[in-house]
Chain A
């Protein structure tokens, strides 16, 4: 029983990380149909920015979050302007181009900062554990779970309650007509891409105490995050959240039953089957496209 409840918590904690990475991806994919394979590198940039802020300016993770968001969002904004914007009519090519961008970012960091892993201290405030019966939970992971739910809620508010969100949804429905009503699709796309990148940056900042910060850290994460997006359904926030929990918990539970690697293989196989039978995800948006 102890093992299971601890694993369930580990799964939830992993789900919260996956969710934060996947949210940005889901927005970019849902809004523009762009499969952004550079997303993992945005996470990596966020982690390195946090490391730099802590090492050179002494700013802790939590205070660094807004700065990280702005820095990574700016990088995303530039990339959208220079590359992605020219490829909206060629969805398969965006996979390739963003993957190339991923290599560039990864190698640039490797050349500039070095390939050895960097460490970031977690916030003092959240060190230690909370124990409920046999269940031992790290305070930082509990914080991550709540924070990811807050980010989800914030994003939902942004999409449904603001003018920006309304314009974005209008463009998703029908770009041509939206432009006729004076919505600048190009600008909205750039901002959306930047927002998605910024979210990845925040995710990167938050995982620094848990993962070692190396240039290739994003590559493994992006595949998982992608599967979350696809399983969740095109651009559905609730779908992404449920898929993150599903995949996080499934991975955690499988790894008790079999070992870690086989657990991951089983999850991947499950996802492949799921995509095949529900290519539009668990929660497809009910619109005619």
Chain B
């Protein structure tokens, strides 16, 4: 176990304490405010999921919104069925007279929860196998996942009778767990989302510090070299894609519960790129930083879009360009570099030491 791992554990514990005790206290346990913050926490899961594939493995997945949307629709389908007697209302409007087959199993809560994780994982895995077996890398991964996202969103909007089309799924029931009907404006719901995020982050922290995470970083740096050590690069890449997709699906399920509807907007290109922004602002190397990035950007958006209704998106664009140019490692990079400078204030001297010792080596080499 490395010191870095200890730092991450400490950061995780502080983070958990703040969202468990600090935030609710700060908001006076106000249901509306807590719901808004729960929304940020759900998005934070989507952002940390991207950090796993992009930051750790170097695979820029521009289709993260597709897997997010799958989770979101899975939950919405279940809640829609709970809200309607027999056929959901929009199906009637679209002349669908019988419940489509894919909808039937979503009557079951257990199936829904599993599907919200496994369907995204499966679809993510399929795209991954498709790409990584052929050793597609770099910008091509970004382009293929982007094209997939566009096609997927079109498909969902097109299948109006099945998905509610452009309107999405609205008029949902509240989730009823055994003994608890989840009111999205309750403190209990806030803790549910906060708990999910903490668990997701714990998984993420473990993954990045496991040998699995190390091999992924090695693959990011030099995939060919890693193959010559006997690692099946495609399998590793596929695994992280599946995991990341499952986490995104999880985030999507929670997001539907927060908003009480599911919409194809959250499968769009701009939402997908928004996830990339959060992740980049926080720092893609660390899952905790990526989650923080999502929370910070969304909080800013919440506060600033009230003040600058029109100008907010412009500001977001400017912030993003500045982050990419001057803080390529995000807030995380700024923090670690500052910490390093405080730790080794004499780093420059050591560099020169190194140089002189290597020149010495050269000299002795020539003498002998």
- Residues of A at the B interface (CB closer than 8 Å) are 35, 83, 86-87, 90-93, 95-97, 99-104, 107-108, 110-111, 219, 223, 226-227, 230, 259, 261-262, 264-265, 268-269, 271-272, 275-277, 279
Contact with A along B318-352 (1 / 0, CB 8 A): 10110011001000000000000000000000000
Chain A residue numbers with a CB within 8 Å of B158 are 259, 261-262, 265
Q: Roughly how many angstroms separate A272 CA and B66 CA in the complex, as a whole number? A: 16
Give the residues in chain B near A264, CB-CB below 8 Å.
Answer: 151, 154
Task: Count how many chain B residues have C-beta atoms less than 8 Å from C-beta atoms of the other chain.
Answer: 38
Query: Whose C-beta in chain B lies nearest to the C-beta of A91?
Result: B139
Which residues of chain B have C-beta atoms less than 8 A from A83's C-beta? 321, 325
Cβ of B138 < 8 Å from any Cβ of A?
Answer: yes
- Cβ A92 vs Cβ B273 within 8 A: no
Closest A residue to B316 using CB positions: A103
**Minimal beta-carbon separation of A255 from chain B (angstroms):** 13
Contacts known (A95-B142, A265-B154, A268-B150); A279 close to B317, Cβ less than 8 A: no
Interface residues of B (CB under 8 A from A): 60, 130-131, 134, 136, 138-140, 142-144, 146-148, 150-151, 154-155, 157-158, 269-270, 273, 276-277, 280, 310-311, 313-314, 316-318, 320-321, 324-325, 328
Contact present for A97 and B147 (CB under 8 Å): no
Would you mind naming 24 contact pairs between A and B with Cβ atoms under 8 Å apart? A87-B324, A90-B328, A91-B138, A91-B139, A93-B324, A93-B328, A97-B325, A100-B321, A101-B321, A103-B314, A103-B320, A104-B321, A107-B311, A110-B310, A227-B143, A264-B154, A268-B150, A268-B151, A269-B151, A271-B147, A275-B143, A276-B130, A276-B131, A276-B134
Contact present for A107 and B313 (CB under 8 Å): yes
Residues on B with C-beta less than 8 A from A107 are 311, 313-314, 317
For residue B131, which residues in chain A have a CB less than 8 angstroms away from its CB? 276
Closest Cβ of chain A to B148, distance in Å, is 6
B321 touches A279 (CB 8 A): no
Within 8 Å CB of A271, what residues of B?
A: 147
- Compute how far the CA of A265 lies from the CA of B157 in the bound complex, rounded to whole angstroms: 11
Check if B143 sits within 8 Å of A276, measured CB to CB.
no
The answer to whether A265 and B151 have CB atoms under 8 Å apart is yes
A residues less than 8 Å from B325 (CB atoms): 83, 86-87, 97
Complex Cα–Cα for A57 and B150 (A): 39
Once bound together, how far apart are the Cα atoms of A202 and B238, in whole Å? 42
Interface-centre pick from B60, B147, B328 (highest chain A CB count, 10 A): B147
- Which of chain A's residues have a CB closer than 8 A to the CB of B320? 96-97, 99-100, 103
A279 touches B134 (CB 8 A): yes
Whether the Cβ atoms of B144 and A275 lie closer than 8 Å is yes
Q: Are A111 and B314 in contact (CB under 8 A)?
A: yes
Q: Given A99-B273, A261-B154, A104 and B143 touching (CB < 8 A)?
A: no
Known: A97-B320, A103-B313, A265-B151. 5 other contacts (CB 8 A): A92-B60, A96-B277, A103-B317, A261-B157, A277-B134
- Assess the B328–A92 pair: CB atoms within 8 A: no
Q: Which residue of A lies closest to B135 (CB)?
A: A279
Residue of B60, B147, B277, B321 touching A268 (CB-CB under 8 A): B147
- Complex Cα spacing A104 to B277, Å: 14
Contact B311 A101, beta carbon cutoff 8 Å: no
B69 to chain A, nearest CB (A): 15
